[in-house]
């Protein structure tokens, strides 16, 4: 098992280059099998979620060539067979193979995807979309068989603006006969990145990034070249770390517009930011004031930054209030922050935070990806040396986090125990 050892109190200066977006790349790689020929996707983050997806492609007989930050996917020899549980359980995003295999072969068999324990995370909206397109869904234990004689475009309304369901239905609908409309679609930038990839293959998708997406089915899709957008959640995490212990810390290779909900909150607490065309520079300031935060679907405050932002709120003067509206169990970082000295009370889906409080080093556990990020931020701020175990969760979503932080002055090392 891997462990991170972080000695807090250092000032971080220099440049952190942001990698490709995990939540885009994990959809683009399954989407690539919809084409009849080879695709090249660049700016792929080197994280373990990508390794897991490439293992699934390999198991399906798809040729995968990987080089630094890019992947070449050739689905010519794909054999549409059941995706075994040991592969699909490694990450939640394996469910994108449902939409892709159904969309191309009208049949998919796979076991329920894995993922963080931040909530029940059902996939009922994905399945409702597949059924609307004419598929039959059979569930036996945790194995799903979804198949259709014909996929026919249909109007689909999502009860929740689900990112996964929006993308998965897009994947299933691009080759369906006729027109599909997804209403109350999620608007995240990652969805636009996937729609652009599919359109480059020859799909006919309009409205991605709005709450109504229209798809007209096509016969064939051809492989193409595509680029993953920068990871706004990785960028946001490092901005929060910069607000806690940075001095002219430059977060580079980003799309600042994707981070507006965070940057406006950082300005509200009193952080000083310089926002450039593709970077943001941030320095820690004294006297941050407490604020109210409510997570929401894009362009609202992202739930994926709720946990690291909690750490920052412990350093803000007065009372802060943070409401998590997307997941029912996304506060598992809180007991560890409290053990480090934070004053946080959980009241249902809301955190009441009093600050600033001095944080002390402790031995803590990363319970999920973004909780781990919150603990890294806390350890960089705390007095002493913090040990974080279960860091495999963190490595799923943050490319070379130890190297990136060390390069700007953090005292951090990764150990095997």
Instruction: Please identify every residue annotated as catalytic.
Output: 116
Q: Between residue 169 and residue 188, which ones bind ligand EPZ under the rule CB under 6 A? A: 186
Binding mask 89-108 for ligand EPZ (x = CB under 6 A): ---xx---------------
Determine if 126 is a binding residue for ligand EPZ (CB under 6 A): yes
Q: What is the token pair recorded at 84?
A: 């075994």
Q: Answer whether 388's CB lies under 8 Å from 1's CB.
A: no
Task: State which residue, 52 or 151, has the beta carbon closest to ligand EPZ.
Answer: 52
Q: Between residue 348 and residue 407, which ones bind ligand EPZ under the rule CB under 6 A? A: 369-370, 397
Min dist. Cβ of residue 126 to ligand EPZ (A): 5
Task: State which residue, 25 or 148, has the beta carbon closest to ligand EPZ.
Answer: 25
Give the CB-nearest residue to ligand EPZ. Answer: 164
Question: How many CB atoms within 10 Å of residue 134?
Answer: 18
Task: Give the residue, chosen from 50, 83, 108, 125, that forms a contact with ligand EPZ under the rule CB under 6 A.
Answer: 125
Q: Between residue 135 and residue 164, which ones bind ligand EPZ under the rule CB under 6 A? A: 160, 162-164
User: Which run of H or E residues covers position 127?
Assistant: helix 124-132
Determine if 51 is a binding residue for ligand EPZ (CB under 6 A): no
Q: Answer whether 246's CB lies under 8 Å from 282's CB.
A: yes
**In the structure, how many helices (H) and strands (E) does the chain have?**
14, 23
In angstroms, the CA 293 to CA 313 distance is 10
Q: Give the DSSP letter of residue 19.
A: -
Stretch that binds ligand EPZ, among 77-85, 118-126, 197-205, 234-242 (CB under 6 A): 118-126
In angstroms, the CA 378 to CA 337 distance is 7
In angstroms, the CA 84 to CA 86 distance is 6
Q: How many Cα neighbours within 13 Å face the side chain of 294?
A: 2
Determine if 193 is a binding residue for ligand EPZ (CB under 6 A): no
Determine if 112 is a binding residue for ligand EPZ (CB under 6 A): no
Size of the residue set binding ligand EPZ (CB under 6 A): 27
Min dist. Cβ of residue 411 to ligand EPZ (A): 26
Min dist. Cβ of residue 288 to ligand EPZ (A): 25
In angstroms, the CA 72 to CA 40 distance is 4
Helix 232-245, helix 369-381: angle, nearest 10:
20
**Euclidean distance between the first and final Cα of the chain, in Å?**
5
Binding mask 320-349 for ligand EPZ (x = CB under 6 A): ------xx----------------------
Q: Between residue 198 and residue 237, which ones bind ligand EPZ under the rule CB under 6 A? A: none
Task: State which residue, 171 or 361, has the beta carbon closest to ligand EPZ.
Answer: 171
Task: State which residue, 227 or 349, has the beta carbon closest to ligand EPZ.
Answer: 349
Task: Give the residue, chosen from 4, 12, 16, 26, that forms a contact with ligand EPZ under the rule CB under 6 A.
Answer: 26
Task: Give the residue, chosen from 32, 47, 100, 116, that forms a contact with ligand EPZ under the rule CB under 6 A.
Answer: 116
Min dist. Cβ of residue 342 to ligand EPZ (A): 21
Peptide bond into 245 cis (omega under 30): no
383: CB partners within 8 A, 6+ apart: 8, 9, 358, 359, 360, 361
Q: If we measure between CA atoms, which residue out of 230, 206, 101, 83 comes closest to residue 142?
A: 83
Can you say how many angstroms the Cα of residue 144 is from the centroid of all Cα atoms in its chain? Answer: 24
* Contacting residues toward ligand EPZ, per CB under 6 A: 22-23, 26, 92-93, 116, 119-126, 160, 162-165, 186, 303-304, 326-327, 369-370, 397
């Amino acid at each position: 098992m891997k462990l991170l050892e972080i000695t807090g109190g250092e000032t971080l200066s220099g440049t952190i280059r942001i990698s490709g977006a995990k939540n885009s790349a994990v959809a683009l790689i399954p989407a690539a099998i919809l084409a009849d020929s080879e695709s090249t996707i660049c700016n792929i983050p080197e994280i373990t979620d990508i390794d897991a997806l490439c293992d699934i492609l390999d198991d399906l007989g798809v040729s995968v060539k990987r080089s630094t930050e890019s992947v070449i996917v050739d689905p010519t020899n794909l054999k549409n067979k059941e995706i075994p549980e040991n592969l699909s359980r490694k990450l939640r995003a394996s469910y994108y193979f449902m939409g892709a295999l159904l969309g191309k072969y009208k049949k998919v068999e796979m076991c329920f995807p894995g993922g963080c324990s931040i909530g029940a995370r059902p996939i009922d909206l994905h399945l409702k979309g597949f059924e609307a397109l004419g598929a039959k869904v059979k569930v036996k234990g945790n194995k799903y068989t979804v198949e259709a004689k014909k996929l026919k475009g249909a109007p689909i309304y999502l009860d929740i603006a689900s990112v996964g369901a929006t993308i998965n239905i897009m994947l299933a609908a691009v080759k369906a006969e006729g027109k599909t409309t997804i209403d109350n679609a999620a608007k995240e930038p990652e969805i636009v990145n996937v729609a652009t990839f599919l359109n480059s293959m020859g799909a006919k998708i309009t409205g991605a990034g709005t709450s109504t997406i229209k798809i007209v089915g096509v016969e064939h899709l051809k492989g193409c070249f595509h680029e993953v957008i920068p990871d706004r959640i990785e960028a946001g995490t490092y901005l929060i770390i910069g607000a806690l212990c940075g001095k002219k810390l430059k977060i580079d290779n980003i799309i600042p517009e994707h981070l507006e909900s965070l940057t406006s909150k950082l300005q509200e607490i009193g952080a000083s930011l310089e926002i450039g065309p593709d970077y943001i520079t941030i320095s820690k300031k004294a006297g941050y004031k407490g604020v109210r935060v409510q997570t929401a679907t894009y362009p609202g405050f992202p739930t994926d930054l709720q946990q690291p932002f909690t750490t920052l709120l412990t350093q803000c003067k007065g009372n802060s209030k943070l409401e998590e509206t997307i997941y029912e169990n996304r506060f598992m970082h809180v007991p560890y922050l409290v053990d480090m000295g934070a004053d946080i009370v959980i009241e249902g889906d809301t955190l009441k935070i009093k600050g600033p409080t001095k944080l002390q080093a402790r031995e803590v556990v990363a319970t999920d990806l973004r909780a781990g990020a919150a603990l890294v931020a806390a350890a960089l701020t705390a007095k002493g040396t913090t040990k974080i175990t279960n860091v495999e969760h963190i490595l799923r979503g943050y490319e070379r986090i130890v190297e990136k932080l060390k390069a700007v002055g953090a005292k951090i090392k990764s150990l095997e125990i």
